[in-house]
Amino acid sequence: MESRDSEIGGASMEWPKLLSENRLRRPERPAREDAGRPRTRSPFQQDADLIVFSAAFRRLQDKTQVQPLSESGRVRTRLTHSIEVASVGRSLGASVANVLAERRGLNGEQVHAMGNILHAACLAHDIGNPPFGHGGEDAIQGWFAAHPEALSGLRADEAAGLLAFDGNAQGFRTLTALENHRFDGGLRLTEATLGAFMKYRVGAAERVRGSATLGLRKAGFFESERPYAEEVCAGLGLPAGVRHPLVYLTEAADDICYAIVDLEDGFEAGLLDHASAVEVLSELADTPAPVGLGRAEQLHKLRALAIGRMVEAVIEVFLDAEPALLSGQPVGELCLLTPLGPAVARAKELARARIFSAPSVVERLLGGQRTLITLLDNLVPVADALAEAGFDRASLGGRARLIAQLLGEGYRPHDRFEALLGITDFLSGLTDRAAVALALRITGEG
């Protein structure tokens, strides 16, 4: 598998095609007019609206960002994090586009498009996260690893997707299969927005953990959505394994926000002392803490200055790398390639050591993982019952019938892979608190 790294690159991409307005599984509409009227929103602004009004986006309001099941309204959730990432992404795209207008001869609509594409992609970047964030991913992966019998009858590539369950693949499934036009293009977003969303270009069986090529490290889609991924990449002219250049800015916007903002949230949650937060944020902001402000206000000011400085540094690195990216050559994480890279790395390490390793965070995360394990223990047997019944839901009885009702009217799988994906869809659609409450209820403890 390691040889896949050598396959990347060697093909030239073009910005007009990379900014494609074509929508997944939907006939192309006229570029400048819709039903004879001048359009007031670009297709990419429409993408952002579709994402914001989706049920999956709303559920991010009660999903873990820093502290699971936080009772403080002062720390960020996945929803507020996603909105902030989208703001940074839009700034990155708009600034980059102004330079590329001259370098690549982009027209006015193409220049305007980049910021809006990144805004939409960043809004959706965490939309597939299960409850309890990366801890939830680990719990789902671990459950399937501990229950190989549950994967009986699946192809190796199908099983690999569940064993390596990832919020990125679930996010692509959410956008392209679960919301709106169910299993027929989902939200039917533009190819450009979906391309800027797809951080990983391979399925789970093809991933290369630890690869120097970022797009190969994790699964970007389940096998059920491979046709959608191929349709998007063909429309954008992306060579095999090559990421959309704007993905690097989506990733950078996320990195900028969590590397810097997690420290502010850690202080607000009482997990990080003021002096430690000030030390790192002052380095990133290139200024000492302002005097005459309260401790929280000092961090707010330093956070804003640090984000602004990081945005400028990432823009410069991206523009330097843009010719290589268009030729299909991968680069590393943009934030770490800037002169501020060492300070960013220190910020992330401080968060890992002092915030995410804090006993209160670990205890709640372990409780959250136990919740998901309990739910899988109780939900997966319905897949066994359906297999025995020839996937005729109407013939189910007893507890299996009740579990199928819990999973919803739309839960009507035709094979075991669909049955298991429907269960992970259900879990991913739960908020942190909803998952805890449901686990207590179905075990008779709540």
Nearest partner of 1 among 210, 151, 142, judged by Cα: 210
Euclidean distance between CA atoms 17 and 20, whole angstroms? 5
Q: What is the pLDDT of residue 77?
A: 86
Total-model pTM: 0.91
Looking at the domain assignment, is residue 310 inside a domain? yes
Other residues' Cβ atoms within 10 Å of the Cβ of residue 331:
18
DSSP string, 196-232: HH----EEGGG--TT-SSGGGSSEEE-GGGHHHHHHH
Structural domains counted in the chain: 1
Cα distances (Å, whole numbers) of residue 219 to 35, 111, 156, 201: 39, 31, 14, 7
Nearest partner of 98 among 119, 120, 117, 113, judged by Cα: 113
Euclidean distance between CA atoms 407 and 419, whole angstroms? 10
Label residue 185 left, alpha or beta by phi (over 0 means left) and psi (-120 to 50 means alpha): left
Looking at the domain assignment, is residue 378 inside a domain? no
Cα distances (Å, whole numbers) of residue 4 to 9, 34, 226, 248, 274: 11, 43, 18, 20, 45
Q: What is the pLDDT of residue 4?
A: 40
Provide the β-strand partners of residue 33.
38
Give me Rg for the CA atoms of the chain. 22
3-state percent breakdown (helix, strand, coil) of the chain, nearest 5: 65, 5, 35
pLDDT along the chain (446 residues), means of 10: 40 90 75 57 94 95 69 74 95 95 91 95 96 92 96 95 96 95 94 96 90 88 96 94 95 93 88 92 92 90 95 97 93 94 94 89 91 96 95 93 94 95 96 93 83
Looking at the domain assignment, is residue 334 inside a domain? yes
Nearest partner of 93 among 115, 120, 125, judged by Cα: 115
Write down the residue that tokens 């570029």 correspond to.
31
Euclidean distance between CA atoms 257 and 253, whole angstroms? 6
Looking at the domain assignment, is residue 308 inside a domain? yes
Looking at the domain assignment, is residue 413 inside a domain? no
Q: How far from chain centre, in Å, is Cα 230?
A: 19
Euclidean distance between CA atoms 144 and 25, whole angstroms? 32
Euclidean distance between CA atoms 318 and 398, whole angstroms? 58
Q: What is the pLDDT of residue 72?
A: 55
Do residues 311 and 84 lie in contact, with contact meaning Cβ atoms separated by under 8 Å? no
Looking at the domain assignment, is residue 157 inside a domain? no
Looking at the domain assignment, is residue 323 inside a domain? yes
Q: What is the pLDDT of residue 284?
A: 94
Q: What is the pLDDT of residue 30?
A: 47
Assign residue 287 the CATH number of its domain. 1.10.3410.10
Looking at the domain assignment, is residue 211 inside a domain? no
Query: Any long-range contacts for 334-340 (C-beta under 8 Å, 24+ apart)?
Result: 334/248, 334/249, 334/251, 334/252, 334/255, 335/252, 335/255, 335/256, 335/259, 335/310, 338/310, 338/313, 338/314, 339/313, 340/284, 340/309, 340/310, 340/313
Domain that holds residue 323: 247-356
Q: What is the pLDDT of residue 405?
A: 94
Enumerate residues 6+ apart whose C-beta is below 8 A from 186.
24, 174, 175, 176, 177, 178, 179, 180
